[in-house]
Amino acid sequence: MHETASTPTQPSTDVDTLDHLPDWEQGEKLRQTDKAVTIAGRWRGHDVVVKQLSSAERHWAKRFAHEISAYRAFAATPPPWRTPRLHYAGRRVLIIERLPGASPHTDRYPPLLPEPTVTAMIGALTAFNAWEPPSVPLNMPVTDWIARIRRYTAAGDLPGDVEQSLLEAVASAPLVFGHGDPLASNALLAADRPLIFIDFEFAGMYPSGSDLALLGLWLSRHDVGAEQRCAQIAEAAGTLTGYRAMRVLWLARERRLYQSLFDMVDDREHRQWLDDQAADAITGLRKTVGRS
């Protein structure tokens, strides 16, 4: 039976920090970013992972609440793949079951990963796409892609002559359930167990091919073949146009995200790589749309 934040074992008041969490036995710090800290430990007899929101930004508070809603939805209607059990959820503290395994890598653009790991990541994302979530928020689009395309074009992040192709490709692509953030650091790999993804801040409905396009982007920095495999799988599924369109959009987002970093760090090589990938992705979309 899944345990949710409404069970009798929860603290009587909302816990905002680990310092105020009763019965908490702290273990190793797993990850710390500018938005949250994640720590392993034990809580009331369970091996758990605690995520404490540290950012005061409204965006990350919204994503944190979304992830809590996702775990509650999984508890109410378990999907056909493994998800951590929810133990407690407050406004700024989340406690979930600690599952076995470790991330294949922690870099956004990991070095060349073993072929079985790449295969397992692709397989897990394909399984996500085959699931039909029954309830809010997982059965809702994560963002307004039409508005994003227009915003990116107006800002000069996309050439104007591909705007209509992107609008049509995204509007016509079937919506499927997706993880939305399939970083290698968001995966767990354990011996003799299927690879699973965790961290569902961005989970919801996406244009088909979206997860594969994002995974292919991050892996292709050091593994061109991984992106080619993702594209081939999308083509076999009849979703290549959606895949190509989402690759263009993800690359536009990456360039926007990294712009502030480039202003502080001299990383001409990565900047050039992103620019080249964006140009190739736009060419690929034009070819795909032209023969459809």
pLDDT digits (tens, 9 = 90+) for 71-121: 999 999 999 999 999 999 999 999 999 999 999 999 999 999 999 999 999
Classify domain 115-291 at the CATH topology level: Aminoglycoside 3'-phosphotransferase; Chain: A, domain 2 (3.90.1200)
pLDDT at 192 over 70: yes
Q: Where do the domains of the chain lie?
A: 18-97, 115-291
pLDDT at 254 over 60: yes
Question: What is the per-residue pLDDT for 2?
Answer: 40
pTM: 0.91
Domain 18-97 has CATH 3.40.640.10: no
Question: What is the per-residue pLDDT for 259?
Answer: 77
> How far apart, in whole angstroms, are the C-alpha atoms of residue 228 and residue 287?
16
Question: What is the per-residue pLDDT for 291?
Answer: 62
pLDDT at 6 over 70: no
Of all residues in the chain, what percent carry a pLDDT higher than 70?
Answer: 92
Question: What is the per-residue pLDDT for 11?
Answer: 67
When pLDDT is cut at 50, 70 and 90, the band that residue 35 belongs to is very high
How many CA atoms lie less than 13 Å away from 65 in the CB half-sphere?
Answer: 9
CB atoms within 10 A of CB 106: 13
Is the distance from CB of 89 to CB of 71 less than 8 angstroms? yes
Is the distance from CB of 183 to CB of 108 less than 8 angstroms? yes
When pLDDT is cut at 50, 70 and 90, the band that residue 7 belongs to is very low
pLDDT at 265 over 80: no
> How far apart, in whole angstroms, are the C-alpha atoms of residue 91 and residue 31?
20
CA neighbor of 101 nearest in space, from 169, 195, 242: 195
Question: What is the per-residue pLDDT for 263?
Answer: 55
120-147 average pLDDT score: 95
Mean pLDDT, the chain, rounded, equals 91
Lookup: tokens for 219: 């892996």
The total number of residues shown for the chain amounts to 292
CA neighbor of 180 nearest in space, from 149, 143, 153, 219: 143
